[in-house]
Amino acid sequence: MITKRSLYYWVKTSDLKLQSLLLFIIAISIATRVFPLEMQKRIVNLAIGLGKVDLLFLYCGLYLAAVVVTGGLKFAINILQTKLGQETLARIRKELYDHILTLPLGFFRKASAGMIVSSLVTEVVAAGELVGQAVAVPLNNVLTLVAFAAYMFYLNPILAALSFVIYPFILFSIPAMQRRANEANKARVDATRLISGKIGETISGIHEVHSNAGYRIENRRFGEMVDQLLKIRITWNIYRNAIKVMNNLFQNMGPFVLFIVGGYLAIHGRFDLGALVAFLSAYEKLYDPWKELLEFYQIYQDAKVSYKRLMEYFDIAPEFALEPHERPPHLMTGSIQVKDLYFSPGGGIHLLKQINLDLKPGEHLALVGASGSGKSTLALCIAQLQKYTSGSVKVDGKEVSDLTKRDIAENMGMVAQSPYIFDGTIKENLRYSCEALIEGESGTSESKRELPTLDEMIQVIQQVGLFVDVLRFGLSTMLPSDRDDELAAKIVRIRRRFQDEFGESLAESVEFLDEENYLYHASVATNLCYGTPNQEDFKKERLHDSAYFLDFLESVQLRALLLELGRELAIQFVDVLEHLPPEEILFEQSPIAANEIDEYRDLVPMLEGHAAHQLSEEAQSKLLRLALRFSPGIHTMVALSDDLEKRILAARMLFIQKIQQELPGAFSFYLSSDYIHSQTILSNILYGKPRTDHPNALERINQSIIHLLIEEDLLERIVELGMEFKVGTRGDRLSGGQRQKLAIARTLLKDPPIVILDEATAALDNASQKRIQNLVETQWRARTTVIAVVHRLDIIRGYDKIAVMKAGKILEMGSYDDLIARKGMLYELIHGTKAGLL
Amino acid sequence: MSSSTEPKQGSCEYKDNLEIVMHIPIFVGLPLEPLKVLTYFCKRATFFPGDILVHEQEMDPNAYFIISGTVALTLDSSPENIILEFGEMDFLGALSLFCTRKRLFTLKAKTKATCLILPRDKFQKTLEQFPEIGRQIFEALAKSICRWEARLITEHALGCPECRAAIGPTVV
Ligand SMILES: Nc1ncnc2c1ncn2[C@@H]1O[C@H](COP(=O)(O)OP(=O)(O)O)[C@@H](O)[C@H]1O
Ligand SMILES: [Mg+2]
């Protein structure tokens, strides 16, 4: 297991070819490093001393060459080190992640996501980098040291011995200080982990933070942790730097000894000057490798501490084997026997007591009981998501705890109480279970599964009642303008049929685009321009500042009127909105956006007693922005006068003409024969705006559109687009019901012999719940073993067996009719005085 | 169904709505500021005969004021039996403004009906901004429930021994 490996293991298993190459380069580079010293000596003694210019050139040339080669080799060493280090880092990350994913669920109840992120992203870095350096750095520097030292002994043994006197002191004092630094480092790792955990938790719970306005609490807690970390980091760095300073100090004492003794010897002629210069250079050269050795030592110590901490944290064995050994995964029929099952999370509590169950393949069992009675726990034990304490759970006669994860995945499908939907598309989420099985099979001979086809996916989303939702997502997509002209053309055809066939009956629900008529559910800007801008300065957030557009408004005498409208809007809406917190949902019915309210509140007092054209340019721009957004059908607080309506309509015609003459292409004007790429497919079919956001009306419109899509054979194409809908992190862009339906659909696609549903329909409305129940009773009848934790008693009649649980025990079990006839717990729950308490 | 009246010169939907909201029994006598905010949150909608406003057993996050038309209250178990009918000036769903509950009845448009719809979340936001109106609204609500039961007792329970077991919600 990865967590048992020492740092040394990663060195051993790193790319050995690279490591040997590295050693080879190091050996050469050491020679090229000592070489200049010898040249130095010869330059002084032979070339300068004897006054030979040709020797001077020769030695200098050799010196230069040696320095350049050393530089090049050093670079090569660095590259190799980086490669080794980064590769090891990637290896540790992958293998550790692999291990983490298989840890028992209990582990994740304690560990937070943030902590794991910080472990995998930051804490392993030190270990990886160390491995890159582990061979090269110590070896390189020790050898360099030895080479220089040998050279120094060769020059003058006594001086050499003297200059090495200090090192034993250094070797003794540094580890003592490093131990303290390690203590601090350990504390730092822990504190960093806590902080990461905290951040992760806060961000996942951001809904709760916002709804309670808990920013202060969160910030205070975070602040406390950060301060704690601050202290630890300062201590840690002080120790690290103290080591460096001390080392420097010792090192700098070296030349002192040399000057005194060497100088004395030189004055008395017992030591030539060239040798003294070379000796001093050699001593200086000792400094770098020694410093690097020390740095390596520190990196090694830090890496050792974080690595140990890291591995200790994840040092838990997976509870179950992952892959079957030398056999294909079992294919089961789905019989389940539970015998004397106990589960205790520790501390003497039993969450499950003496559970006995027997299900034949295809039998359906409903688990009922008050919340907290252990239903989910039982489901988890059967699904191998929770390791039971004693007793046995057998599937097809095989003990569940002896089965591998693969066996379970092949044979069981589980829909959890609050299923997890991954960030990605609907399609990716639908195929998740199947894809996992296929990936599991890859590399083995039994690859026989295939990814579900579009038809199969459409079938399951229909079965769970998600079809219309997905269709709606499809209808809300925008087609990219450079693709799929054929689809666009078909949609325009549907648009025409929609107008012909439903135009009249839906006239009350939809406001159709019409060159001659004012659109009450569209903005003044849309009504004026009647098209999609293709030029930046005509986009709706910039239009009110476009000089061209302002000139146009002036020329049709609309500018003053619109400023007046803007002023009325500002006054009326600020009057009401200033009492509200700036939340977007509260500003839906206003032309002022939530983040703009302060701006307009400050503006309103200036509006009193001034005509609009007397205001500053900035104020006028703000008013015009508001006026251009105004949609009388949505912003009902202000009415649109007949006069203004007529003028805008007249201006529209002039604007279209003007643009066509002066700036052709600046707008794509709405034409009933053109696809509008800036709008959704739905808007393109409607070719207008719904007059309401009430679900009933939208439903009626949808029905008509679906009808046409079927006739034009486009339904599947649109659903396919809808499957690409991005569901957001944790499926946040789906409703709770949609998430549950998606999870059920996922299991349906996988079609395993055993299905476990844990309140899988709790978030669904009545109709959807009935639909799913119906599905369970038909699709899975006598074919799939079903264990369903059921939260509503009116859907349990269809089950072969019903088990009533209380405080971790099954109190009674039998068919619905038997249990009712017995007038026991179930009868009491349904008919008794305690009915409704479930 | 759709928003009914298109804005016309001189008339402003918001002003009409404000007039209506001011006279809804549980809102009568509230200061103008909160009334304006509540009105701002109201939306008009038109329902056609057979349209369902509220489904039994489903969460409905709205209260309804009927501007015109008739709606009928039924139970899903016997959809033909109309329990009650509501018409112009009736206000339904005041309790849903205060708590999320599954609806116990189905509400269906009998004729074409125009309603003013007030969503709970927005009502709650208004309460947060004007906490003092909560007491007043609650009192009005409690009174109307008591009045209702008083009527039940005098009209039915006295003459019908079986009905007696069914009365008593105001004892809560
Ligand atoms: N791992 C655990 N450690 C301690 N208590 C747990 C654990 N899992 C569940 N519980 C407790 O066990 C009880 C049963 O939980 P559960 O099976 O989820 O109930 P149900 O699904 O019937 O509502 C609950 O009181 C819950 O708090
Ligand atoms: Mg549960």
pLDDT, tens only, A679-689? 889 889 989 88
* B142 and B93 assigned to the same domain: no
* A447 and A522 assigned to the same domain: no
Number of helices and strands in chain B (H, E): 5, 8
CA dihedral A491, A494, A498, A501 (to 10 degrees): 180
List the structure tokens of B31: 């200061």
Q: Among all residues of chain B, which has the CA nearest to that of A588? A: B41
Q: What is the pLDDT of residue B147?
A: 87
Is the pLDDT confidence value at B5 over 70?
no
Residue A72 CA: distances (Å) to CA of A23, A76, A233: 15, 6, 37
* A460 and A380 assigned to the same domain: yes
* B168 and B123 assigned to the same domain: no
Q: What is the pLDDT of residue A657?
A: 93
Residue A722 CA: distances (Å) to CA of A461, A476, A681, A698, A725: 11, 8, 11, 18, 5
* A301 and A190 assigned to the same domain: yes
Q: What is the pLDDT of residue A662?
A: 94
The overall average pLDDT reported for chain B is 84
Q: Indicate whether A320 belongs to any domain.
A: no
* B172 and B123 assigned to the same domain: no
In chain A, what percentage of residues exceed pLDDT 90? 42
Number of helices and strands in chain A (H, E): 33, 14
Cα(A523)–Cα(A812) distance, rounded to whole angstroms? 64
- A230-282 per-position pLDDT tens digit: 999 999 999 999 988 888 887 777 777 777 887 888 888 777 777 777 777 77
A160 neighbors A149 (Cβ within 8 angstroms):
yes
Average pLDDT over residues A349-369: 93
* CA A159 from centroid of its chain's CA atoms: 63
Cα(A136)–Cα(A430) distance, rounded to whole angstroms? 50
Is the pLDDT confidence value at B11 over 70?
no
- A129-145 per-position pLDDT tens digit: 888 888 878 888 888 88
Kind plus residue range of the DSSP H or E element containing A809: strand A809-814
- C-alpha triplet A329, A335, A341: angle, nearest 5°: 100
- Whether B125 sits inside 8 A of A697 (CB atoms) is no
* B105 and B24 assigned to the same domain: yes
Is the pLDDT confidence value at A442 over 70?
no
* A109 and A143 assigned to the same domain: yes
Average pLDDT over residues A474-488: 83
Q: Is the CB of A773 under 6 A from ligand 1?
A: no
Which chain B residues touch A581 with a CB distance below 8 Å? Answer: 125, 128-129
How many angstroms separate the first and last alpha carbons of chain A?
A: 46
Q: Name, of A85-89, A146-150, A280-284, the range with top average pLDDT.
A: A85-89
Q: Phi and psi for A414 in degrees, rounded to 5?
A: -125, 135
Number of structural domains chain A divides into: 3
Q: What is the pLDDT of residue A445?
A: 54
Cα(A807)–Cα(A802) distance, rounded to whole angstroms? 16
Q: How confident is the model at residue A444 (pLDDT cuts 50, 70, 90)?
A: low
Q: What is the pLDDT of residue A213?
A: 79
Average pLDDT over residues A153-173: 80
Q: Is the CB of A375 under 6 A from ligand 1?
A: yes
Q: What is the pLDDT of residue B8?
A: 43
Q: Indicate whether A700 belongs to any domain.
A: no
Q: Indicate whether A764 belongs to any domain.
A: yes
Residue A350 CA: distances (Å) to CA of A346, A366, A370: 8, 22, 17
Q: Among all residues of chain B, which has the CA nearest to that of A637? A: B14
In chain A, what percentage of residues exceed pLDDT 70? 98
Q: What is the pLDDT of residue B6?
A: 45
A636 neighbors B12 (Cβ within 8 angstroms):
yes
Residue A757 CA: distances (Å) to CA of A92, A412, A550: 37, 11, 62
Q: What is the pLDDT of residue A275?
A: 75
Average pLDDT over residues A71-83: 91
DSSP string, A622-681: HHHHHHHH--TTT-TTSPPPHHHHHHHHHHHHHHHHHHHHHSTTSEEE--TTS--TTS-H
Kind plus residue range of the DSSP H or E element containing A697: helix A695-711
Q: What is the pLDDT of residue A622?
A: 94
Average pLDDT over residues A316-343: 89
Is the pLDDT confidence value at B166 over 80?
no
B41 neighbors B118 (Cβ within 8 angstroms):
yes
Cα(A364)–Cα(A383) distance, rounded to whole angstroms? 16
Q: What is the pLDDT of residue A447?
A: 56
Q: What is the pLDDT of residue A386?
A: 87
* CA A212 from centroid of its chain's CA atoms: 25
Number of structural domains chain B divides into: 2
The overall average pLDDT reported for chain A is 88
* B73 and B47 assigned to the same domain: yes
Average pLDDT over residues A382-401: 92
Q: What is the pLDDT of residue A390?
A: 92
Whether pTM exceeds 0.90: no
Q: How confident is the model at residue A43 (pLDDT cuts 50, 70, 90)?
A: confident
Higher pLDDT, A696 or A432: A432
Average pLDDT over residues A303-318: 89
**Least confident stretch, A301-310, A479-488, A626-635:** A479-488
* A162 and A251 assigned to the same domain: yes
Distance A380 CA to ligand 1 centre (A): 10
List the structure tokens of A652: 């529209």
Q: What is the pLDDT of residue B9?
A: 41
* A352 and A257 assigned to the same domain: no
Cα(A261)–Cα(A198) distance, rounded to whole angstroms? 61
* A623 and A551 assigned to the same domain: yes
Residue A4 CA: distances (Å) to CA of A10, A301, B9, B30: 12, 18, 81, 72
Q: Indicate whether A497 belongs to any domain.
A: no
Q: What is the pLDDT of residue A832?
A: 66
Closest in B1, B10, B12 to A697, CB measured: B1
- Whether B117 sits inside 8 A of A633 (CB atoms) is no
- Whether A576 sits inside 8 A of B51 (CB atoms) is no
* B106 and B141 assigned to the same domain: no
Cα(A676)–Cα(A669) distance, rounded to whole angstroms? 9
CATH of residue B10's domain is 2.60.120.10
* A359 and A305 assigned to the same domain: no
Instruction: Tell me whether B41 touches chain A (CB under 8 Å).
Output: yes
Which of A110, A351, A386, A789 to probe ligand 1 with, by most ligand atoms within 8 A of CB?
A: A351
Residue A756's nearest CA partner among A334, A329, A388, A333 is A334
* B100 and B168 assigned to the same domain: no
Q: What is the pLDDT of residue A69?
A: 92
* A354 and A300 assigned to the same domain: no
* B99 and B141 assigned to the same domain: no
3-state helix, strand, coil in chain A (%, to 5): 65, 10, 30
Q: Is the CB of A371 under 6 A from ligand 1?
A: yes
* A48 and A173 assigned to the same domain: yes
Which 8-state DSSP code applies to residue A537? Answer: G
Average pLDDT over residues A624-644: 93
Q: Indicate whether A145 belongs to any domain.
A: yes
CATH of residue A94's domain is 1.20.1560.10
Is the pLDDT confidence value at A215 over 90?
no
Q: Among all residues of chain A, which has the CA nearest to that of B52? A: A696
- A193-205 per-position pLDDT tens digit: 889 888 888 888 8
Q: Indicate whether A68 belongs to any domain.
A: yes
* A257 and A386 assigned to the same domain: no
Average pLDDT over residues B22-38: 92
Q: How confident is the model at residue A158 (pLDDT cuts 50, 70, 90)?
A: confident
- A763-793 per-position pLDDT tens digit: 888 888 889 999 999 989 889 999 999 988 8
Q: Is the CB of A61 under 6 A from ligand 1?
A: no
Q: What is the pLDDT of residue A569?
A: 94
Q: What is the pLDDT of residue A364?
A: 95
* A309 and A393 assigned to the same domain: no
Q: What is the pLDDT of residue B157?
A: 65
Q: Among all residues of chain B, which has the CA nearest to that of A583? A: B125
Task: Name the residue with tokens 């292409």.
Answer: A665
Q: Indicate whether A613 belongs to any domain.
A: yes
Is the pLDDT confidence value at A658 over 90?
yes
Cα(A328)–Cα(B30) distance, rounded to whole angstroms? 74
Between residues 141 and 170 of chain B, which touch chain A (CB distance below 8 Å)?
none
Q: What is the pLDDT of residue A226?
A: 94
Residue A751's nearest CA partner among A455, A384, A449, A385 is A449
Distance A387 CA to ligand 2 centre (A): 17
Is the pLDDT confidence value at A834 over 60?
no
Residue A622 CA: distances (Å) to CA of A382, A520, A601, A626, A696: 64, 22, 12, 6, 36
Q: What is the pLDDT of residue A837?
A: 43
Nearest CA residue ID for atom 18, ligand 1: A376
Average pLDDT over residues B62-71: 94
List the structure tokens of B79: 């959809």
Cα(A590)–Cα(A230) distance, rounded to whole angstroms? 47
List the structure tokens of A31: 């020679």
Maximum distance among all Cα pairs of chain B, rounded to whole angstroms: 58
* B35 and B58 assigned to the same domain: yes
Q: What is the pLDDT of residue A835?
A: 47
CATH of residue A393's domain is 3.40.50.300
Cα(B142)–Cα(A803) distance, rounded to whole angstroms? 43
* DSSP three-state, residue A139: helix
* B141 and B63 assigned to the same domain: no
Which 8-state DSSP code applies to residue A425? Answer: B
Strands A667-669 and A688-690: unpaired
Q: What is the pLDDT of residue A23?
A: 87
B124 neighbors B37 (Cβ within 8 angstroms):
no
Q: What is the pLDDT of residue A836?
A: 44
Q: Is the CB of A379 under 6 A from ligand 1?
A: no
B41 neighbors A736 (Cβ within 8 angstroms):
no
B73 neighbors B54 (Cβ within 8 angstroms):
no
Tell me the CB-side half-sphere exposure of residue A10, using CA atoms within 13 A.
Answer: 31
Beta bridge partners of B107: B54, B73
How many angstroms separate the first and last alpha carbons of chain B?
A: 38
- A92-116 per-position pLDDT tens digit: 999 999 999 989 888 888 888 888 8
Residue ranges making up the domain that contains B12 = 1-129
Cα(A246)–Cα(A172) distance, rounded to whole angstroms? 12
Looking at the CA of residue A370, tell me the nearest atom of ligand 1: 22
* B67 and B92 assigned to the same domain: yes
User: E strands within B20-163?
Assistant: 43-47, 52-54, 62-68, 71-74, 84-86, 91-92, 106-109, 113-119
* B59 and B123 assigned to the same domain: yes
Residue ranges making up the domain that contains A219 = 2-313
Higher pLDDT, A754 or B165: A754
Q: Indicate whether A702 belongs to any domain.
A: no
